[in-house]
Amino acid sequence: MNFSHALIIISVLCVLLLSAGCTQPSGPPVTQSTTVSTPPTTLPTFTPVVTVTTPSLTPGPVDTLPDQYMIAVDVASNGLSINPQITATFQGGKGQNFVSSIQFELIRSDGKVEKQTIYQPLHKGETITLNCTTANTNRAIVMVTVTHNSYIIRDEQVAFRQY
C-alpha cells in the first residue's frame, strides 16, 4: 500500500469520526416557565446641583522670584476696539536660562478665560497675545515655572486704553 492510499483512508476515518458525534437525535426542547414577581421599586430622585463659578477679576497676591531667577515680563493692551488684545512680552533677565515656561492667563471681563504658554528656549522680545474685551477689567496673570516650582509674577487688571 502506498502512502497516498494510507493518507486517504486516515482522512476518511477522521471525517466519519467527526460526523458521528453530530448525528445523534436531539431530545424534545426543555421549556420551563417561571414567574418571578418583583415588588415595584421607587428610585430616589436626585436633582443635580450645578455650580457655575465665574473667575474673579480681582487681582491676587504675587510671588517674588529668587534673585538668581529674576526675569521681566511686560503686559499691555493694544487699545484697538476693532481687535482688542493684550500682549505679554518677555523682556529677559538673569534667570532667563532657568525658566522652563511662561504661562499667560487672561480672565476677560465677560468671564472667559484664555491661556497660552511659551517654553524654552526663551528669547528676549517673545510675545503671547490673547484676545480681550474693551472693558477696563481684564485680569492678566503671568506664571513662571522655574525648576519645577511655579511663581505668579504678575496679577493685575489691564486697562483697555490708557488716557
| Per-residue pLDDT tens over the stretch 87-140 | 999 999 998 999 999 999 999 988 899 999 999 899 999 999 999 888 878 999
Residue 15 domain-assigned (yes or no): no
Residue 136 domain-assigned (yes or no): yes
Q: What angle do CA 11, 15, 21 make, to 5 degrees?
A: 150
CATH number assigned to the domain comprising residue 81: 2.60.40.10
CB 106 within 8 A of CB 76: no
CB 73 within 8 A of CB 96: no
Residue 49 domain-assigned (yes or no): no
Residue 8 domain-assigned (yes or no): no
pTM over 0.85: no
Residue 139 domain-assigned (yes or no): yes
Q: Residue 84: which of 17, 122, 134, 158 has the closest Cα?
A: 134
pLDDT digits (tens, 9 = 90+) for 47-74: 666 666 778 888 889 999 889 999 999 9
CB 126 within 8 A of CB 117: no
DSSP assignment, residue 71?
-
